[in-house]
Structure 1
Amino acid sequence: MTRQHTYPTVVTWTGNQGTGTSRYNAYARDHELAAEGPPPIQGSSDPSFRGDPSRWNPEQLLVGALSQCHMLSYLHKCAVSGVVVTGYIDRAVGTMAETADGGHFTEVVLRPEVTVTAQEMAETALKLHEDAHAACFIASSVNFPVRHEPVIRVAGQDDA
């Protein structure tokens, strides 16, 4: 049996500066992304496209969603495999190519730095990134590569 999930959101444009879209440079790209429950996210377009750099843009949100999904899948895989993770940070980067008819992402690279409690967990912790990628709903929904460059550290051991 297939289960379906829905994720309703509301995007409200807040960038009308008095004349609407009368000209390309007459309006702000500002908007608000909302859903029932969490606080709204203040959004805009990428600054390259006249957006407000103090607000989230859709490209950042996509990279963030991929990073979040991978982390959540990974932590689950670790928990059920006996790998104790005590720290996780990912400095992900997405690359988009702008083309004459718009643009598209060419790849996202996730760079999770994971801390585990024991050396004997390190090899499994590294391998579980592949399983997490396969389980990530967002990664399996995009049409560009999502690569991983994980680093595994053991708590209490120096990097030297």
Structure 2
Amino acid sequence: MARPHTYETIVTWTGDRGTGTSGPRDYSPDVEIAADGPGVITGSSDPAFGGDPARWNPEQLLVASLSQCHLLWYLFLCARAGVVVTTYLDRATGDMTAHADGGRFTEVVLRPQVTVADSAMTEEAVRLHAEAHRNCYIAKSVAFPVRCEPVVSAAELMI
């Protein structure tokens, strides 16, 4: 049975320098992203497109969303399978190609580095990444490949 979910956000442009969009260089692409509950995220465009490098850009947020979705599915599946994860860090990258008529992502690569409590869990821990990927709502929703290159080690071997 399908269960619909709706996600609402509020994106507010905060880059009016007093003359609105009177010219391409007369405004900033700065925004605030909010939703009921969590704090505000400050955003802008990629610095390559005139944005503020101290603010999140939509491309980074897309890569982070894919990484977080995978992580959450993975932790759930590990807990259900009796695999005890003690650390998880992902250095994900997303590749986008810009063209004169716009751009598009060509690939995102997730690179989770996972530590499990016992070396007997490592094989199952590696396998569960594929299952997490198949379940990730966001990965199933994008029109480009999302690859996962996990590294799993056991805490007992790190002493």
What's the TM-score once normalised by structure 2's chain length? 0.98
Match of 2:158, SS? coil
Letter in 2 for 1:115: T
- What is the root-mean-square deviation in Å for CA atoms of aligned residues? 0.9
Instruction: Give the counterpart letter for 2:16 in structure 1.
Output: N
Secondary structure class of the residue paired with 1:21 = coil
Which string of whole-angstrom CA distances, capped at 9 and with x for unpartnered residues, describes residues 110-146 of structure 1? 0000000111110110010000000100000000000
Q: Flag structure 2 segments of 5+ consecutive residues without an equivalent.
A: none
Deviations 1:16-47 (A, max 9, x none): 00111111111101000010010110000000
**Alpha-carbon distance between aligned partners in 2 of 1:124 and 1:134, rounded to the nearest angstrom:** 16
Counterpart in the other structure of 1:36: 36
Task: Kindly indicate whether residue 79 of structure 2 is the aligned counterpart of residue 75 of structure 1.
Answer: no
Counterpart residue number, 2:55 = 55
Equivalent residue for 1:112? 112
Task: Please state whether the residue corresponding to 2:21 is helix, strand or coil.
Answer: coil
Q: Quick check: 2:97–2:104 contact (8 Å CA) kept in 1?
A: yes
Q: Which amino acid aligns with 2:78?
A: C
- 3-state secondary structure, aligned to 1:2: coil
Identity %: 62
Provide the secondary structure at the position in 2 that maps to 1:66: helix
Distance (whole Å) between structure 2 residues aligned to residue 153 and residue 23 of structure 1? 54
Whole-Å separation in 2 of the counterparts to 1:123 and 1:37: 38
Residue 76 (structure 1) shift:
0.7
Q: Kindly report structure 1 stretches of 4+ aligned residues shifted beyond 3 Å.
A: none
CA distance in 1, matches of 2:134, 2:70: 9
Q: Distance in 1 between matches of 2:154 and 2:147?
A: 23
Gaps of 5+ in 1: none
- Post-superposition Cα deviations, 1:39-88, rounded to whole Å, max 9, x if no partner, equal 11000000001000000000000000000000000001111111110000
Partners of 1:77 and 1:156 lie apart in 2 by: 22
Aligned-partner residue type, residue 41 of structure 2: I
Shift of the alpha carbon at 1:157?
1.1
In the alignment, is the contact (CA less than 8 A) between 2:119 and 2:156 conserved in 1? no
What is the letter of the counterpart of residue 37 of structure 1? Answer: G
User: Match for residue 23 of structure 1?
Assistant: 23
Partner of 1:45: 45
Q: Distance in 1 between matches of 2:48 and 2:97?
A: 13
Which residue number corresponds to residue 132 of structure 1?
A: 132
